[in-house]
């Protein structure tokens, strides 16, 4: 929820280039049949899968580090 707001403060070209790879925009590209400016359906599901995988890895590392300490 905070990341899109932070990307909004970047310069226009850079913000829009990074913004289409955020989870919200990736899900929109996956769910829409004809993307206007963002990712297509397959690219959207790929980026969304990467975000889920990254969240899983971070959660696993933090859980193991805190429980084994």
| Largest distance between two CA atoms of the chain | 49
pLDDT at 4 over 80: no
Distance CA 62, CA 37 (A): 36
Q: In this predicted structure, what is the pLDDT of residue 12?
A: 77
The predicted-structure confidence for 11-61, as pLDDT tens digits, reads as follows 878 877 887 888 888 888 778 776 667 788 888 889 899 999 999 999 999
Q: In this predicted structure, what is the pLDDT of residue 17?
A: 80
8 Å CB contact between 28 and 3: no
């Amino acid at each position: 929820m905070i990341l899109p707001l932070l990307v909004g403060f970047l310069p226009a070209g850079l913000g829009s280039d990074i913004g289409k790879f955020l989870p919200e925009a990736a899900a929109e590209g996956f769910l829409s049949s004809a993307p206007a400016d963002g990712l297509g359906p397959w690219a959207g599901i790929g980026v969304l899968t990467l975000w889920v995988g990254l969240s899983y890895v971070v959660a696993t590392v933090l859980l193991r580090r805190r429980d084994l300490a």
